[in-house]
């Protein structure tokens, strides 16, 4: 999908990037992290094709979308007009363009700004327009440089929802950011002084252990709470599956209601019967 091979960038006798190599598979979400000046934005510009590396090469897919850290849009353009131009530029026909513009305006909470000129938009709203244009058409690779910059929590939630849809369709996403919440990424690449100093794969978090618990109920009715899922129930015996985190609460409720535990078996992770 994307291959970065020994990429270096030298500007005015200063090494901005040095020998950066990595690749990205289809449908992966990659984070590029590092401190200010580490070379994240320069690497994003190289990935997008806006900057040519001094040495090395980048093999990139044909369909890209890029959103810089701060997007301000062309002054004098209305939001919907701009999105229409961008959709047409990506090859959508007129009918599809109108549909996608409406959908994007809605997805990023921009409907009320459809006819507003860019020079009248706040920084956060303009940033949402920049993000909306990236999702107008199906692309192979989305490149976001600090996309949460200037976004409210609502805006970040809208972005996250759109990214999930794009990932589901096989789009790869590369995001560079300063944040420390990396659990959503398949891999985190760490840049320091222009060098790739770390590449951490995100492993699936271990599933919470489940327990199958059988109770002697003696006909009494007890509310075990949301932490228990019923498996079977007879006149005198109830069998439930309980998550580890809810185990004590469920047992307390059962015992307080006069039930007795007849068996407790730990299941394998994810197994529910």
Cβ distance to other proteins smaller for residue 72 or 249: 72
Supply the DSSP string of 70-92, one letter for each residue.
S----TT-BHHHHHHHHHHHTT-
For the bound state, the minimum distance from the C-beta of residue 137 to other proteins, rounded and expressed in Å, comes to: 9
Instruction: Give me the half-sphere count of Cα atoms (radius 13 Å) on the Cβ side of residue 96.
Output: 11
Closest distance of CB 119 from other proteins, Å: 11
Q: Rounded to the nearest whole angstrom, what is the least distance from the CB of residue 48 to other proteins in the complex?
A: 5
Which are the contacts of 34, defined by CB distance < 8 A and separation ≥ 6?
40, 176, 190, 191, 192
Residue 46 C-beta: closest distance to other proteins, Å: 12
Cβ closer to other proteins: 45 or 177? 45
The residues near 44 (Cβ < 8 Å, ≥ 6 apart) are: 32, 66, 143, 145, 174, 176
Torsion of CA 60, 138, 179, 150, to 10 degrees: 120
Applying CB under 8 A, the residues found at the interface with other proteins are 45, 48-50, 62-68, 70-75, 86, 89-90, 130, 133, 143
Nearer to other proteins, 10 or 90 (CB): 90
Block residue for tokens 């440089």: 145
User: CB of residue 244 vs other proteins: minimum separation in angstroms?
Assistant: 47
Q: Which is nearer to other proteins, 16 or 213 (CB)?
A: 16
- Please count the helices (runs of H) and the strands (runs of E) in the chain: 6, 13
Distances in Å between the alpha carbon of 89 and those of 45, 65, 133, 137, 145? 20, 12, 11, 10, 22
Residue carrying structure tokens 């994810």: 270
CA dist 118 and 123 (Å) reads: 10
Nearest approach in angstroms of CB 251 to other proteins is: 57
In the complex, minimum distance from the CB of residue 239 to other proteins, in angstroms, rounded to a whole number: 57
Residue closer to other proteins by CB (options 118, 259) is 118
Task: Closer to other proteins by CB, 2 or 67: give it.
Answer: 67
Question: Please, which residue, 50 or 200, has the CB nearer to other proteins?
Answer: 50
């Amino acid at each position: 999908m994307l291959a970065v091979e020994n990429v270096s960038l030298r500007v005015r006798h200063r090494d901005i990037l040095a020998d950066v190599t990595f690749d990205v598979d289809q449908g992966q979400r990659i984070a590029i992290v590092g401190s200010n000046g580490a070379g994240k934005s320069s690497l994003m510009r190289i990935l997008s094709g806006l900057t040519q590396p001094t040495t090395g090469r980048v093999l990139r897919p044909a369909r890209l979308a890029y959103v810089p850290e701060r997007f301000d849009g062309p002054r004098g353009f209305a939001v919907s007009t701009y999105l229409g131009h961008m959709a047409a530029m990506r090859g959508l026909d007129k009918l599809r363009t109108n549909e996608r513009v409406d959908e994007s305006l809605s997805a990023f909470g921009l409907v009320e700004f459809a006819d507003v000129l860019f020079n009248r938009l706040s920084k956060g709203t303009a940033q949402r327009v920049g993000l909306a244009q990236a999702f107008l058409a199906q692309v192979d690779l989305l490149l976001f440089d600090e996309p949460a910059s200037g976004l409210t929590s609502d805006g970040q939630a809208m972005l996250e929802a759109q990214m999930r849809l794009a990932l589901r369709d096989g789009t790869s996403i590369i995001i560079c950011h300063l944040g420390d919440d990396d659990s959503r990424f398949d891999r985190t690449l760490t840049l320091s002084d222009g060098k790739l100093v770390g590449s951490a794969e995100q492993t699936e978090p271990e599933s919470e252990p489940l327990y199958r618990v059988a109770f002697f109920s003696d006909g009494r009715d007890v509310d075990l709470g949301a932490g228990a899922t019923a498996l079977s129930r007879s006149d005198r015996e109830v069998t439930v599956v309980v998550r580890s985190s809810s185990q004590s609460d469920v047992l307390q409720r059962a015992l307080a209601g006069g039930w007795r535990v007849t068996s407790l078996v730990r299941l394998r992770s994810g197994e529910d019967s």
